[in-house]
Amino acid sequence: MCASPLHQHPFSSQRQRQATKQSKPIGSISHTATQPPQPQSTTNQPPPFFEPRPSKQATSAMKVVDEEHLESVVGRSFKRAMEGAAWGVGIGGLAALALNKFSPWYRRLTPALKAYSLLVPVIGGMMIIGEGELVAIEREHHRQHHKEQMQKRMEEFRRLDAETHAARQQAANASSSS
């Protein structure tokens, strides 16, 4: 094995060997309070691949949906996916008929392979049109979220503008009366 830390196997770290020695079978009770703390490695090695890395915080606001809304979204996307399947059957059926009429290699295929060749445009149509509906639903949510955020910002702007106007008027009244 190479001495370079770049060429070491991820299981070759001292911490991993100690963890392997101290591992207990599944279902055994682990007494972590009585175990001595593990020495921290001061080398510049990346953590082993199985350790969780700190997750990045989401920067966008997530919308919490109820069951009724979720069923509505699933219903809309399923309906559009079935429309895509119908388009796929139409396009794939016409292509299969044309291939069967004009192509000798297609005529020699087994019925199972011909069925698979028909399923490709059906599944593709379902995916493309169904996902397109989900993207449209997501855009609606983003538009609604943007509208709500703009409304909050405008209310805050109007409040600050009114406060500034009142403070200026109060300062003008104070300076004119003195």
In a domain, residue 89? The reply is: yes
Q: What's the token pair of residue 6?
A: 């770049």
**Report field, pTM of the whole predicted structure over 0.95:** no
Which segment of 4-13, 110-119, 137-146, 152-161 scores lowest on mean pLDDT? 4-13
pLDDT score, position 69: 86
Q: Which residue has the higher pLDDT, 37 or 161?
A: 161
Lowest-confidence segment of 15-29, 31-45, 68-82, 88-102 by average pLDDT: 15-29
Under the banding of pLDDT at 50, 70 and 90, the label for residue 153 is very high
Q: Measure Cα distances from 18 to 5, 117, 140 in Å.
A: 18, 55, 53
The gap between the terminal CA atoms of the chain, to the nearest Å, is 88
* Tokens standing for residue 78: 């399923």
The verdict on residue 43 lying in a domain is no
Give the span between the Cα atoms of 115 and 97, in whole angstroms.
12
Range 113-121, long-range pairs (CB < 8 A, 24+ positions): 117/92, 118/89, 118/92, 118/93, 119/92, 120/92, 121/88, 121/89, 121/91, 121/92, 121/95
82 part of a folded domain: yes
Residue 20: its pLDDT value, please?
54
Mean pLDDT (whole number) for 33-42: 57
pLDDT in the model for residue 17: 56
State how many domains the chain has. 1
Q: Is residue 114 part of a domain?
A: yes
pLDDT value of position 97: 94
Domain that holds residue 154: 67-172
Contact assessment for residue 137 and residue 76, using Cβ atoms and an 8 Å cutoff: yes
pLDDT at 21: 54
* Residues of the chain above pLDDT 90, percent: 54
Q: Is residue 72 part of a domain?
A: yes
Range 47-51 average pLDDT: 58
Residue 177 belongs to some domain of the structure: no
* 84 and 129 Cβ atoms separated by less than 8 Å: yes
In a domain? residue 51: no
Nearest to 125 by CA among 94, 93, 95, 82: 82
Q: Is the pLDDT of residue 80 over 70?
A: yes
Contact 80, 132 (CB under 8 A): yes
How does pLDDT run across 11-28, given as a tens digit for each residue? 555 555 555 555 555 554
∠ CA(155), CA(159), CA(165), 5° rounding?
A: 140
Instruction: Determine the pLDDT at residue 94.
Output: 95
Does pLDDT of 37 surpass 80?
Answer: no
